[in-house]
Amino acid sequence: MLTEWQARHQREYETIFILDPRVTREQAERVVQRVSEAMAVKDARLLKVDYWGRRKLSYRLRRNDWGFYYLLRFLGAGAVVAELERNFRMLDAVLRHQTILVRSDVDGTGLQVGAGDVEFRIDQLAKEAAEAVREQPPDAVVAAPAPPADDAGEVEDEDDDAGGDDVPEEAADGAGSDDGAAETDGEEDPADGGERGEGGAS
């Protein structure tokens, strides 16, 4: 609980976060739940939740051109911001978030917050998200999981190439240590990229 003094000297923050345009209702609810929990745990008070709707982004974020914007205003201490941002970082549906200190030394006692002011309007969000997905099939999602089907086999081939034709056990171990790097390369462009690279070098 807050002491009398703390309640009279709070800080007002403003947080904007952007949700993935293909967000599902469950994901959105989880975000709302995390926000409410963070507020409750750190004795903060939500003053206002503003749903801006679907907006075009000025630049692409994780292959998205659009996003759902939310603006939160709340009273609390610095610990709330840390807790809130920690949660945002864990949630995949949140593309971006930014918190700004609006005013410090705010007297939080006697402040009335209407129930309508802290409404997340998830119904509308879910509706708009569903409409957006229907209009624009998620091509980026289809493109991403295509390559890794033969990933393991391809990576092994690459190692063999790197180690030479007949690889003794020691060399194979050495190649094993490179495995991690090879796999991460493989995610984007399996085997092909590596072979092309070698061809270019020789």
Partner 1 sequence: MSDRRDGGPSGGGKHRHGRRKRVCRFCADKAVAIDYKDPQTLRYFITDRGRIVPRRISGTCAKHQRAVAIAIKRSRVIALMPFGVSGG
Q: How far is the CB of 48 from partner 1 (least distance, A)?
A: 13
Q: Are 61 and 67 in contact (CB under 8 A)?
A: yes
Decide if residue 100 touches partner 1 (CB under 8 A).
Answer: yes
CB closer to partner 1 out of 51 and 69: 69
Contact with partner 1 (CB under 8 A): which of 16, 102, 122, 126?
Answer: 16
CA distance 47 to 44: 9
Q: Helix crossing, 25-41 with 78-90: angle to 10°?
A: 160
Contact with partner 1 (CB under 8 A): which of 67, 108, 186, 194?
Answer: 67
Contact with partner 1 (CB under 8 A): which of 40, 41, 71, 90?
Answer: 71
CB closer to partner 1 out of 102 and 167: 102
Contact with partner 1 (CB under 8 A): which of 33, 36, 98, 104?
Answer: 98
Other Cβ atoms less than 10 A from the Cβ of 156: the count is 14
E strands, 3-93, in order = 10-19, 45-61, 64-76
Backbone angles phi, psi at 2, to 5 degrees: -85, 145
Footprint of partner 1 on this chain (CB under 8 A)?
16, 18, 57-59, 61, 67, 69, 71, 96, 98, 100
